[in-house]
């Protein structure tokens, strides 16, 4: 859901920039990445890659050619790494690719409150702060490699990091997004897929009901 929303926002921003400046050529690139759940990620990637392609096509975004940012394929190497270390590596790689491509902004659609997450308020606040700090420090480190022939620097944004599940559903409803392009929609035998499908279908239905226009009542004089 987060990646799909990021693609939708990039498409809208690209459209607005094109209207403001007909000569603008800078576009958005999608880098296929996975920054969560090292366990059984090798099974999920087979569903993630086609979903990335679908979302890029729907929102008319280009895929970064022949590049992706996934955890190591070697199981032992994966187990020896924490999720935090994987996130740091992926963010730095994405920021460096952005600089080489002349792109000055990276969107990391990470979000702390997930369907399966159960955090206390204090813990959630700490995790949100850590994600923001990680994005900031990775962008600064990558920017040290910038030169006059590339982007001057790069900023990594985390627009969804503190959003609740209900807020995500409301945004998806506002932008008329469809869950058909998510990795778990057509891969329901994989871990998390069925629960994700059921969770977001219920959330979107609730959001649709809340936002449904109420019939106007006729005044009686």
Q: pLDDT confidence of 80, banded at 50, 70, 90?
A: low
Q: Residue 177 — pLDDT band, cuts 50, 70, 90?
A: confident
3-state secondary structure of 31: strand
Instruction: State pTM to two decimals.
Output: 0.82
Full DSSP string of 124-136: HHHHHHHHHHHHH
Q: Considering only CA atoms, which of 170, 175, 180 is closest in space to residue 205?
A: 170
Rg of the Cα trace of the chain?
19
| pLDDT above 90: residue 134 | yes
Q: Under 8 Å CB-to-CB from 200, ≥6 apart: which residues? A: 1, 115, 169, 179, 182
CA–CA separation, 184 and 189 (whole Å): 9
pLDDT digits (tens, 9 = 90+) for 6-35: 999 888 888 777 665 654 545 688 888 876
């Amino acid at each position: 859901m987060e990646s799909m929303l990021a693609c939708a926002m990039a498409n809208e921003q690209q459209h607005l920039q094109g209207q403001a400046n007909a000569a603008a050529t800078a576009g958005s690139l999608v880098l296929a990445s996975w920054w969560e759940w090292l366990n059984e990620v090798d099974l999920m990637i087979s569903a993630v890659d086609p979903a990335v392609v679908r979302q890029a096509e729907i929102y008319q975004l280009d895929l970064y050619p022949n590049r992706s940012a996934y955890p190591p394929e070697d199981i032992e190497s994966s187990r020896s790494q924490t999720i935090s270390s994987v996130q740091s590596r992926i963010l730095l790689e994405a920021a460096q690719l952005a600089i080489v491509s002349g792109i000055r902004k990276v969107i990391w659609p990470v979000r702390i409150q997930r369907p399966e997450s159960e955090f206390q308020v204090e813990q959630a606040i700490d995790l949100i702060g850590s994600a923001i700090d990680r994005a900031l420090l990775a962008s600064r480190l990558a920017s040290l490699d910038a030169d006059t022939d590339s982007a001057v620097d790069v900023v990594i944004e985390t627009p969804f990091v503190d959003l609740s599940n209900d807020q995500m559903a409301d945004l998806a409803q506002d932008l008329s997004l469809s869950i058909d392009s998510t990795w778990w929609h057509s891969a329901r035998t994989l871990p998390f897929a069925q629960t994700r499908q059921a969770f977001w279908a219920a959330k979107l239905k609730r959001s649709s009901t809340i936002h449904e226009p109420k019939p106007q009542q006729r005044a009686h004089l």
